[in-house]
Amino acid sequence: MSSQNQLFKPDGKNSIHDGIEHSPSGGKALIDPTDTVLLLLDHQSGLFQNVKDIAVADLRRNTTALAKLAALIDLPLIITASIPEGPNGPLMPEIQQVAPHAVYVPRRGEVNAWDNALFVKTVRETGKKTLIIAGVWTNVCVMFPALDAKAEGYNVYVVIDASGDPSELASRTTLARFTQAGVIPTSTNAVTCELHRTWNRPDAAQLAELYCMASPSYQAVMESFNKAQEVEAAKQTNNGPKSTRSTTPALAAQSR
């Protein structure tokens, strides 16, 4: 059983169960990890070439971080591609490399994944009612199924920085349509934080590694902090700096 399954229970309360007394109102407005499935749609090499609203390297890194998060906390992950044998190209390989539990659903030419009966059946069979969606393009491959799923009664979040559009204008108009329809825009870092919830968990180092992916500067901050702690300890002992395994989350992740 993963630490995620030990920390949270499918009781609708979304409270932390780590042996510490927490506020009973905490988490009620946040994503419930026991009721969530991650959908990564059409992260394909051909479509990447037309993404202009975010650096493709950032998009791929954030998408990989989401997939790693799903694998770490046993979150169901469903992936699909639009005509991978055509000009849209194959899916980025990082997703299945870091999340081998991902379920791939082939489509038969449908632009909108929600038009594919097998895809919708696969989503429904998870039993989850909260969808976290990212994909390329945001204004088509993400927006169409997001709007359909919302109309069907799902709680829908769209990870904007793990998605991409052909222009800034397309991205802005898509965000406007999401908010008008009740689809919630979010970010890779926010999703990780909402599903993380507490450092009082055995996988804290792996989670810190994901923060370093979503925000590379976070690793630099932790490295500086750890070095300052090491120098201060050396002053106290007058024995000079010592190389020891870090106990802080981010650097511990790097020393694994």
pLDDT in tens, 55-79: 999 999 999 999 999 999 999 999 9
Instruction: Categorize the per-residue pLDDT at 217 as very low, low, confident or very high, splitting at 50, 70 and 90.
Output: confident
Kindly name the residue from 31, 102, 141, 205 that is annotated as catalytic: 141
How many Å apart are CA 251 and CA 249, to the nearest integer? 6
Segment 98-122 mean pLDDT: 97
Taking only Cα atoms into account, the Rg of the chain, rounded to an integer number of angstroms, comes to 20
Q: What is the pTM of this model?
A: 0.87
Mark whether 141 is an active-site residue: yes
Provide the pLDDT for residue 251.
Answer: 47
Of 26, 90, 98, 120, nearest to 18 by C-alpha is 26
How many Å apart are CA 246 and CA 244, to the nearest integer? 6
How many Å apart are CA 227 and CA 229, to the nearest integer? 5
Q: How far is CA 240 from CA 129, 234, 235, 236, 245, in A?
A: 55, 5, 7, 9, 16
Segment 208-215 mean pLDDT: 89
Q: pLDDT for 219-242, tens place per residue? A: 888 788 788 888 888 888 876 555
Provide the pLDDT for residue 242.
Answer: 54
Q: What is the mean pLDDT of the chain?
A: 91
Give me the amino acid identity at 108.
R
